[in-house]
Amino acid sequence: MIKVKLGSLLDVKRGMSLSGRHYATQGRYIRLTLGNFDYMSGGFKEDYSKDKLYYIGPIRHQYVLDKGDLITPLTEQVTGLLGEIATIPIGDTYIQSGDIGRIVPNREKIDKRFAAYLVSSPGVKKQLAAASQQTKIRHTSPDAIKNCDVWIPEDIRVQSAIANLMDCINDKIALNKRLCSELEETAQLVYDYWFTQFDFPDENGRPYRSSGGKMVYNDTLRRDIPAGWDVIKVCDLVSVMKGISYKSDDLFGDGVPMVSLASFNTDGTYRPETIKSYSGKIDERRTVQPGDLIMCVTQQTSIDLTGKTNVIGKALLMPDIFDGVAVISTDVVKLIPSNPLYAYVLERLFRRLDIHKHIVGYANGTKIKHLDVEGALDFYFPMPATDLRVLATFAQLRMEQAAQYSSLLRENDELIRLRDWLLPMLMNGQVKVCVDGGTHRVGAGNSAVMGV
């Protein structure tokens, strides 16, 4: 292991200043923003939070990034963002703006993938945080990044082996996320097919409407619905339990998991990486179990009727990822259905654009939106009136999907913990790797041995 400055291994190039008068809703090049860094999970993400993503002004070619280029933020818009790394997914598309740095590794001294893990390692992040300007929004610079001290294996083969191991873990995490997304898409597809197109399986297993099932006109919805179905308001099916009011001191130390606004992804799915620990007094009524239906009632960004960035009014079934009790914060309410079967249909209903447009009309506030839950739940939709066969069949399907979803989330949680523990151990030489079939020592003491 050798101790060096990052600047001896790589260069950091600042992007160009982009004038706002050249921002546009369409164009050839997309301007990179801090929103392109997935600071919760790591890596690159598409950013649709701004209307004018394109830049149509004059540019220099060196600021148009190639596929595989490494970028890092020079401005900390959210805590922990400095030191994050993202890889450009497609070439000749993105323009590097002035608050983003491009990492250019010296290929003779450092493996490119190892460089990405090195810059985003806890040791470098701590140095960047300490050296950044202490304002509400902190900043760093290319020189500050290059001035960070790091320990690295001098042998590039060992660097590559460490990067390979980290890549394997991250690839598995990414695969599990894709599988979770596919489960979500399948669930919504089945819901839409059964409860909006009304092609649920009839008594003979055939699609009801397409097979000539009887339809009757409903005056409330102004459309045909299956015979034997009724139009019901959401508020008639559930009661509402608010979350726990807490102080900041309650979120320190050991405690139980707390489900909050941060627990919701923008598409309404569950985000496990943000769970906080609550050590205050527990009200059993405000605890959640696997399968409980919860809804987000607070939004810290502007309302977006497309649903791309807005989580207010999104509902989900709690996955089976906690080994004990979990509580909900004041950002969340628990919807308690009069019949457990209703929860599975309501969860999917809340993902639809029509109810989402209805719900956001009951969100009030400026910087922070709060939902009038009573008004939001005053929404009509079709449901079987007496025959619960369709609801039971759909619930069974969703329970099976939810079990798969929970298993993937649990596995990812374990992988993330392993990755976050292993990376600094590899970086500081407390863990060994095997190169070309032999053990290559990267540290002293009772180090573990990893085969790569």
Q: With helix as H, strand as E and coil as C, how does the chain read?
A: CEEEEHHHCEEEEECECCCHHHEECCCCEEECCHHHECCCCCCECCCCCCCCCEECCCCCHHHECCCCCEEEECEECCCCCCCCCEECCCCCCEECECCEEEEEECCCCCCHHHHHHHHCCHHHHHHHHHHCCCCCCEECCHHHHHCCEEEECCCHHHHHHHHHHHHHHHHHHHHHHHHHHHHHHHHHHHHHHHHCCCCCECCCCCECCCCCCCEEEECCCCEEEECCEEEEEHHHCEEEEECECCCHHHHCCCCEEEECHHHECCCCCECHHHCEEECCCCCHHHEECCCCEEEECEECCCCCCCCCCCCCCCEEECCCCCCCCEEEECCEEEEEECCCCHHHHHHHHCCCHHHHHHHHCCEECCCCEEECHHHHCCCEEEEECCCCHHHHHHHHHHHHHHHHHHHHHHHHHHHHHHHHHHHHHHHCCCEEEEECCEEECCCCCCCEEEEC
Residues 71 and 32 sit within 8 Å (Cβ to Cβ): yes
Instruction: Find where tokens 């003979």 sit.
Output: 204
**CATH, domain 2-152, list 3.40.50.300, 3.30.750.210, 3.60.21.10, 3.90.220.20:** 3.90.220.20
CATH (residue range 229-385)? 3.90.220.20
The tens-digit pLDDT sequence of the chain (452 residues) is 888 999 999 999 999 988 888 988 888 898 888 888 877 667 888 876 677 888 888 888 889 999 999 999 998 877 778 888 999 999 989 999 889 999 999 999 999 999 999 998 888 888 988 887 666 678 889 999 999 999 888 889 889 999 999 999 999 998 999 999 999 999 999 999 999 999 999 989 999 999 999 999 999 999 999 999 999 999 999 999 998 888 777 777 678 888 888 888 877 788 777 678 888 888 888 899 999 999 988 876 544 444 445 788 888 999 998 888 889 888 899 999 999 999 999 999 998 888 888 888 888 887 788 888 888 899 999 999 888 899 999 999 999 999 999 999 999 989 988 988 888 888 777 777 767 654 444 443 444 444 44
CA separation for the pair 152, 159 (Å, rounded)? 8
pLDDT score of 367: 74
Q: What is the pLDDT, as a whole number, of residue 361?
A: 86
State the Cα–Cα distance between residues 393 and 386, nearest whole angstrom.
14
Q: What is the pLDDT of residue 419?
A: 87
Can you tell me the distance from the alpha carbon of 164 to that of 151, in angstroms, rounded to the nearest whole number?
A: 18
Would you state the pLDDT for residue 52?
81
Domain assignments of the chain as residue spans, ordered by start = 2-152, 229-385
- Looking at residue 133, its pLDDT comes to 62
- Taking the C-alpha atoms of residue 394 and residue 191, their distance in angstroms, rounded to an integer, is 8
